[in-house]
Amino acid sequence: MKQLPQKARFGDARETLRRPGEGWRGFLRRLAEHSGAMPCGGARACGKCAVQLLPPEAAPSPSPDDMRLLGTERVRQGWRLLCGLLASHGIEAPWMTASLRGADPSGTQIVTDFRMDAVSRRASGQPGTRPGRWALAVDLGTTTVAGALLPADSGLSDSEEGAPPLMLSGARLNGQLELGGPDVMSRIARAQGSPEMAAALSDALRETVEQLVRELLQQYGVDARLVDRVALCGNTTMEYFFLGRDVSCLGMYPFEPPDHGPFEMDGLFPGLPGPVRQWLFPVPGGFIGGDIVAGLLALRNALEGRRVLFMDLGTNGEIVLWDRGKILAAGTAAGPAFEGARIACGSPALRGAIERVRISPVRLRCGVIGGGRARSLCGSGLVDLCAGLLRLGGITPDGRLRDPEDPLVQRVPVLRKRIYADVRRAEPAFTVAGRRGSGVWLGQRDVREFQLAVAAIRGGVRLLMDTAGVATGDLDQVIIAGGYGFHLDAESAAAVGLIPAGAPPDRVARPGNTALAGAAMVAADPRLAPRAKALAESITVLNLADHPAFTDTFVESMHFPAPVSARRSGWDCG
């Protein structure tokens, strides 16, 4: 019998000992529990989850991914990719495929007259008193797939016409992360020219939906046979993958889908036993999907007669200007930084991720999802951190993280203590939590990745508003939608430039997952489907790639706004 490892050492020097008599699978499960979230979602693409198995001779034979990402010398020393070891033994890790825990990933909050009201996550009464028919709503997100069960009987739905109904919700990480990478363009690229990969990505998405549906049914005690209709929305790429359609057109100019929908069908649905009626929201363009239409449908009563900037800040930044009934929209390739991907210590909003950062000249405080030790940095925490460092001068407006010997760094205690030279990456870095050189940290490359994402949004907003002839002062409201937007701090977003300069924080609303709310409305009342279709047809899509000023505007938007004092409204935590 091959010798088993006696212990495993993580990259931050933490060690986990194998217990007496513990088998290999049990040891791996404990390693998964102690490991942080990985940027590539367990796709064996980043190498962040490497562990050193000791003694080295007890480590299993290396895989091609081990050799590619770790190199011969580290492999000889016993280093292996933990995600590969788990996958080879059929073990699910929290940061790969399990439901998001310790947070509210579905963001199931809705807006009613721009007041945030939580939608109840539990049905009233006992299982025996629940309605006879149910509907299902699904939001096919690039990173997270969210779903909700809702009563289909009109007497149990919200009596206010056009209001989102009761939603019993949940979410899962999109299984495509493991196969196709963190953003839609990488998945489109892998699907192009490979029917096998395209089918695998489609299957991965549908399997995620199936797992989510089964979890919702079990959690809320609903009989699957009572679900008789489904409404789905998502960005254009996700809807095409779900339908099993060719996504190649979405990766080539002019990035237009041949069929804008809506897509209607009767048939089997993942996780349900029999044929059901399915309705997928129409997609106005290649980068403006049905999720935006669903979000506008959920908010339409509050939008009428107003000028509102609506932003969904996910992997694919989607921006809409609602100008008193005229709708202009644009999509921006923001990249996955807002979801925590391509950030060295980044992750989605999982347990152990830092979601809040408060920093003063002398102190830094973190809010960690689920409490306990910080293991990673999610999108909202990244925005807070960069905003705070901009205010203190640790990050310059051109996106440079200052060197540890910089005179300004030496004058500010919190910067002097936490900024250091990362020898491994040959760049300055800032310790957020844990020990210097390990723990959770932000490096210069991370700042640059974040800077690019912000510039894409800022540039898109500027061109959209210039095209419509609308100034920031003309806006009645700025809405930042999505589960990510719901946890975003408005002042931090303004400090880094995600919110247009001059927009007062009290005019910023963060309603949560409006896409899921809109899908739930159609699922509960199919008579709203024609309204959603008419809404999609009224959207004018601005192709930023064709805009003559796009390149110059993007470059100008790379500069963060001029910093303001750190001593303002809650930011001085010293």
**Shared-domain flag, residues 128 and 33:** no
Residue 463 lies in a domain: no
Answer with the residue of higher pLDDT: 155 or 136: 136
Question: What is the per-residue pLDDT for 566?
Answer: 41
Residue 230 lies in a domain: yes
Tokens of 89: 């033994």
**Shared-domain flag, residues 149 and 285:** yes
Question: What is the per-residue pLDDT for 107?
Answer: 40
Residue 171 lies in a domain: yes
In the predicted model, is pLDDT for residue 166 greater than 60?
yes
In the predicted model, is pLDDT for residue 425 greater than 90?
no
186-196 confidence digits (pLDDT tens): 899 999 989 99
Band of the pLDDT at 92, cuts 50, 70, 90? low
Q: Who's near 125: CB < 8 A, 6+ residues apart?
A: none
What is the C-alpha to C-alpha distance for residues 394 and 388, in angstroms, rounded to an integer? Answer: 8
Question: What is the per-residue pLDDT for 507?
Answer: 84
Residue 498 lies in a domain: no
Tokens of 555: 């470059």
In the predicted model, is pLDDT for residue 162 greater than 70?
no
- State which residues form the domain around 270: 109-300
Band of the pLDDT at 415, cuts 50, 70, 90? very high
Question: What is the per-residue pLDDT for 46?
Answer: 57
Chain center to CA of 413: 33
Percentage above 70 pLDDT, the chain: 85
**Shared-domain flag, residues 281 and 149:** yes
Q: Who's near 147: CB < 8 A, 6+ residues apart?
A: 106, 136, 137, 138, 139, 169, 170, 171, 209, 212, 213, 216, 516
Cα-Cα end-to-end distance for the chain = 58
Mean pLDDT of 246-274: 91
**Shared-domain flag, residues 137 and 242:** yes
**Shared-domain flag, residues 149 and 66:** no
Indicate the residue among 382, 415, 440 that finishes a domain: 440
| Contact by Cβ (8 Å): 206, 112 | no
Residue 399 lies in a domain: yes
Question: What is the per-residue pLDDT for 545?
Answer: 76
**Shared-domain flag, residues 259 and 359:** no
Mean pLDDT of the chain: 83
Q: How far are the Cα atoms of 71, 203, 269, 461 from residue 243, in angstroms, in the given order? A: 40, 10, 11, 31
What is the spatial order of strands in the sheet that 440-443 belongs to? 419-422, 427-433, 440-443
- Residue 138, classed as helix, strand or coil, is strand
Q: How many CB atoms lie within 10 A of CB 12?
A: 15
**Shared-domain flag, residues 287 and 160:** yes
What is the C-alpha to C-alpha distance for residues 479 and 396, in angstroms, rounded to an integer? Answer: 28
Indicate the residue among 300, 329, 361 that finishes a domain: 300
Least confident of 156-165, 319-328, 456-465, 543-552: 156-165
What is the C-alpha to C-alpha distance for residues 349 and 94, in angstroms, rounded to an integer? Answer: 12
171-226 confidence digits (pLDDT tens): 888 999 888 887 888 899 999 989 999 999 999 999 999 999 999 999 889 999 99
Least confident of 173-187, 198-212, 277-291, 376-390: 173-187
Place of tokens 């399997």: 207
Name the pTM for this structure: 0.73
Residue 493 CA neighbour count, 13 Å, CB half: 29
Least confident of 155-169, 325-339, 439-453, 541-555: 155-169
In the predicted model, is pLDDT for residue 118 greater than 60?
no
Mean pLDDT of 464-481: 90
123-144 confidence digits (pLDDT tens): 333 333 345 789 999 999 988 8
Band of the pLDDT at 569, cuts 50, 70, 90? very low
| Contact by Cβ (8 Å): 58, 2 | yes
| Contact by Cβ (8 Å): 526, 262 | no
Residue 212 lies in a domain: yes
Mean pLDDT of 500-529: 88
What is the C-alpha to C-alpha distance for residues 214 and 426, in angstroms, rounded to an integer? Answer: 47
CATH number of the domain within which 139 lies: 3.30.420.480
| H/E stretch holding 69 | helix 64-76
Least confident of 58-67, 94-103, 514-523, 549-558: 94-103
Answer with the residue of higher pLDDT: 359 or 173: 359
**Shared-domain flag, residues 124 and 83:** no
Mean pLDDT of 96-106: 32
In the predicted model, is pLDDT for residue 313 greater than 70?
yes
| Contact by Cβ (8 Å): 147, 213 | yes
**Shared-domain flag, residues 286 and 359:** no
Residue 400 phi, psi dihedral angles, 5° rounding: -95, 125
Residue 420 lies in a domain: yes
Q: How many CB atoms lie within 10 A of CB 126?
A: 8
Band of the pLDDT at 75, cuts 50, 70, 90? very high
| Contact by Cβ (8 Å): 355, 366 | no
Question: Closest Cα partner for 244 from 207, 203, 275?
Answer: 203
**Shared-domain flag, residues 125 and 77:** no
Residue 390 lies in a domain: yes
Q: How many CB atoms lie within 10 A of CB 569?
A: 7
**Shared-domain flag, residues 22 and 128:** no
**Shared-domain flag, residues 43 and 132:** no
Question: Closest Cα partner for 19 from 38, 32, 1, 5?
Answer: 5
In the predicted model, is pLDDT for residue 101 greater than 70?
no
Tokens of 248: 């190649």
Place of tokens 């009233």: 124
What is the number of structural domains in the chain? 3
In the predicted model, is pLDDT for residue 437 greater than 60?
yes
Answer with the residue of higher pLDDT: 149 or 65: 149
Mean pLDDT of 26-52: 69
